[in-house]
Every structure is written in C-alpha cells, then in structure tokens.
Amino acid sequence: MIGHELREFVDRVMDHHVIDDEDVKMLQREILSDVVMTRDIIDVLVALDRAVPEACAAFADYLVALTVDYAVWESRPTGIIDRDKAHWLVTTLSAGDGPSATAQRIAFEIVREAECCDEALIGFALRKGSEKLRGLGAERMLLAS
C-alpha cells in the first residue's frame, strides 16, 4: 500500500507528463525520506518510469539505487535474490511493453550487487542485455553498408 503523499505525487506527475529534477528532490527529501520501502512503492515507481514520457536522468538514477537497495539489502534474505524476489522483479521490470532502459539497468545492477541471485533474474538481465546488443550490431551493419 502506498501513502497519500506518494499517491498525490504520482497523480501530479501523470497530469504533467514529466518528471524533473525538482520532482526527484521532493521524492527524496519529503515523500520517501522516512518511509519504510515496500514492493508496492517500488512497483509504483517502476510503473511511473514506464508511463511518463519525459523523465530526467536523476529519476532513473534514484530509481535504480532505491530498487537495488531495497531488493538486495533491505528485504530478507539480505544480499540474496531468491526465487520469490526474482519472480517479483522480473514481473515488475518487464510489465507493459517490456522493460524500459531504467528497468534493464535495475536488473543488471541487482545481479551485480547481490551475493547470490536466482537464475530467473540472471536470465532476464542477460537476455535483455543480449537483445539490446544484437540491435546495436544490426545498426552497425546498416551503417557500414
């Protein structure tokens, strides 16, 4: 369940279709500063990243750090991405039209940071990364032709 302040923040951002640096500062300093992080909050922020067409780089950086901290270090078992957490993360990060660039970064950073990680999240992070690299290879071939 998300709090009233976060709900108002989401409504305002969705109305304006943009997340700027001031929004990120408000999120960090006023809305989430004293909040116990939950899966619901992460789910809302990841969905917001996907839904808002124009977001500043600071929001992506904050969302990556927040999600990695929560998934790896705040939720139990600490340092371990077990099957349950991996399933939640893959579902959250791949919802809609697939993972956003920020969601891909989140998956890679969690796999890199965790002491032990379930194969579902590792496979997701590697599969999405290899698809991105294949796309770059096709572009390079077209440019060289």
State the Cα–Cα distance between residues 133 and 99, nearest whole angstrom: 15
The contacts of residue 76 (CB under 8 Å, 6+ apart) are none
Give the pLDDT score at 83: 97
Q: How far apart are CA 51 and CA 64, in angstroms?
A: 16
Model confidence at 140: pLDDT above 50? no
User: What angle is formed at CA 55 by the lines to CA 12 and CA 28, rounded to 5 degrees?
Assistant: 65
Nearest CA-CA partner of 67 in 84, 44, 50: 44
Residue 137 has pLDDT above 50, yes or no: no
Q: Is the pLDDT of residue 70 over 60?
A: yes
| pLDDT tens per residue, range 40-58 | 999 999 999 999 999 999 9
Count of alpha carbons within 13 angstroms of residue 7, beta-carbon side: 4
Model confidence pLDDT, tens digit, residues 75-94 = 999 999 999 999 999 999 99
Interval 4-23 mean pLDDT: 96
Is a pLDDT exceeding 70 seen at residue 128? no
pLDDT class for 2, splitting at 50, 70, 90?
A: confident
Average pLDDT over residues 103-120: 96
Predicted local confidence at residue 98, as pLDDT? 77
Ranges of each domain in the chain: 2-143
